[in-house]
């Protein structure tokens, strides 16, 4: 199932545009706790949560770990460390692959939702929001199975305030020919400065960081090095995991771990939309400015701790820029880059929103109290403090900080604001519910999701890049999906319609 050759476009400026389209996906680790349970166990409750969503005891599909190797480093080596895949019984208990092409599973001590592959930022937001809906539905189902008086609570945030940070990871399909050093050089300043519009907001500080009442990002205090393979200790700003989930000869999956988990649709949209555009520029070697930072780890924290967005950061070339100025440099480059290509309505919208947000941040960040998470949360909390005469250390303020991320529509502060029309949206509830049940139509997620819906009892194993079918009592046949943009509705709808069974599908694929 191969992707057609990338089109090459020669523009009037004589610049060859060869960047591949950015297939995008995100992984969200959710915070979990149980009210009134003194013996709370995060792993068992996470397993209960995942298995409470549309349980079907007749279906035993495993996650195919053979297609994964998280110890290969993009810098050209492999870490010698043994990782054992779960036994088949445990595998089925901690993994659920959904009809919309997503994966819902237990990762360490957290429930995690991975979106299906999406071809654009708007679809990504839609499927990430579908994930929130799925997690909350499974929470309600799981609560019916635990003792009376107890209640499982789920938060889409990044810290338990006990020194532990859990992740939100973005994944972008990239051309393997792009030197990894080039990605590091040009992406690092962008990721560090983009938190001024991607941060989820946080009361206080952690991880031996400098004291602050309120900061922009929930994750910034936890990054301790510039580049590396780890995601849980000595967290790097640029992660070097080389696990493409696609044709290794052609593709790289860039694993971005510095982002916050966002509630705002607009914030998520800008986060992945702007990053995808910058990555396309990097692939096309279009960036001709040196924005290298003198001390990236320090800059990460300094920017997060400055809610005025006016602090200047030292660049390697001796200049000092604010995070807004750095972002404006990238914005101007992207505007020039896309002006030489065919217009795309989502790209145009992202550019307009990006420019508007940077302008408002420069004027007065509070103007973004309907769009950007850290500003929305700050607006809520400061209004509360004014009305109650309390300060940032008040226990109710800390509770509001957490309650903003509660996935319960009737309790979460973000969802209550949304219900009142207090936040800007880019989606409708109907679009999100449609994404709960159906995969994107223009990536390989369509083939995965459609097969799960039609041939579920005949599927043995699933990974991002393969499906394994049980065609009889002894044989397993694996269908490789090494091209993330193929397997779309346009590619496979007719094939699926004329294949009543998995055996017929395999026969027709081989024909």
Q: Are 300 and 198 in contact (CB under 8 A)?
A: no
Provide the 10 A C-beta neighbour count for residue 6.
14
Q: Are 141 and 52 in contact (CB under 8 A)?
A: yes
Helix axes 121-143, 345-363, angle to 10 degrees: 80
Q: Are 130 and 136 in contact (CB under 8 A)?
A: no
Helix axes 502-510, 489-497, angle to 10 degrees: 120
Establish whether 107 is a catalytic residue. Answer: yes
Cβ-based neighbours of 116, under 8 Å, separated by 6 or more: 25, 100, 101, 102, 127, 439, 440, 443, 445, 448, 449
* Chain-centre distance for alpha carbon 278: 16
How far CA 303 is from CA of 71, 189, 191, 365, in Å, comes to 31, 11, 11, 14
Closest CA to 155 of 380, 401, 371, 356: 401
Catalytic residue among 41, 56, 73, 107: 107
Q: Which are the catalytic amino acids? A: 107
């Amino acid at each position: 199932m191969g992707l057609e050759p990338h089109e090459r476009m020669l523009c009037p400026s004589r610049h060859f545009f060869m960047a591949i389209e950015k297939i995008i996906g995100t992984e969200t680790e959710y915070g979990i706790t149980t009210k009134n349970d003194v013996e709370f166990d995060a792993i068992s409750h996470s397993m209960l949560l995942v298995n409470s969503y549309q349980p079907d005891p007749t279906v035993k599909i495993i996650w195919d770990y053979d297609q994964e190797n998280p110890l290969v480093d993009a810098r050209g080596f492999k870490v010698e460390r043994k990782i054992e895949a779960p036994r088949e019984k445990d595998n089925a208990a901690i993994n659920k692959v959904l009809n919309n092409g997503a994966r819902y599973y237990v990762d360490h001590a957290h429930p995690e939702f991975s979106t299906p592959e999406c071809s654009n930022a708007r679809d990504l937001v839609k499927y990430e929001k579908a994930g929130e809906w799925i997690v909350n539905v499974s929470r309600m189902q799981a609560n019916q199975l635990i003792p009376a008086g107890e209640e499982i609570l789920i938060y889409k945030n990044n810290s338990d305030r006990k020194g532990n940070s859990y992740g939100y990871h973005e994944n972008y399909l990239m051309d393997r020919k792009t030197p990894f050093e080039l990605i590091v050089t040009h992406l690092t300043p962008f990721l560090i400065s983009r938190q001024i519009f991607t941060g989820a907001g946080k009361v206080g500080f952690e991880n031996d960081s400098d004291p602050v009442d309120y900061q922009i990002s929930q994750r910034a205090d936890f990054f301790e090095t510039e580049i590396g393979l780890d995601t849980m200790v000595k967290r790097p700003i640029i992660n070097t995991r080389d696990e493409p989930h696609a044709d290794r000869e052609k593709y790289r999956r860039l694993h971005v771990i510095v982002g916050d988990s966002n509630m705002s649709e607009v914030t998520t949209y800008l986060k992945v939309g702007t990053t995808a555009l910058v990555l396309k520029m990097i692939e096309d070697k279009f960036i001709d400015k040196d924005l290298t930072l003198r001390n990236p780890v320090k800059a990460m924290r300094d920017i997060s701790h400055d809610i005025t967005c006016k602090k200047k950061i030292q660049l390697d070339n001796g200049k000092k820029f604010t995070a807004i100025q750095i972002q404006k440099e990238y914005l101007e480059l992207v505007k020039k880059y896309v002006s030489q290509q065919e217009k795309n309505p989502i790209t145009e919208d992202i550019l307009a929103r990006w420019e508007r947000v940077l302008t408002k941040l420069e004027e007065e960040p509070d103007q973004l109290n309907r769009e950007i998470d850290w500003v929305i949360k700050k607006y809520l909390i400061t209004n509360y403090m004014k009305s109650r005469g309390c300060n940032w250390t008040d226990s109710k303020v800390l509770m509001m900080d957490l309650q903003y991320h509660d996935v319960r529509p009737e309790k979460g502060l973000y969802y209550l604001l949304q219900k009142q029309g207090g936040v800007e949206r880019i989606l409708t509830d109907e679009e999100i519910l449609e994404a709960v049940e159906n995969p994107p139509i223009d990536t390989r997620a369509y083939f995965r999701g459609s097969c799960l819906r039609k041939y579920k009892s005949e599927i043995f194993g699933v990974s991002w890049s393969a499906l394994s079918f049980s065609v009889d009592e002894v044989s397993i046949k694996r269908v490789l999906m090494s091209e993330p943009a193929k397997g779309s509705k346009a590619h496979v709808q007719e094939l699926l319609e004329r294949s009543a069974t998995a055996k017929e599908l395999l026969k027709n694929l081989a024909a």
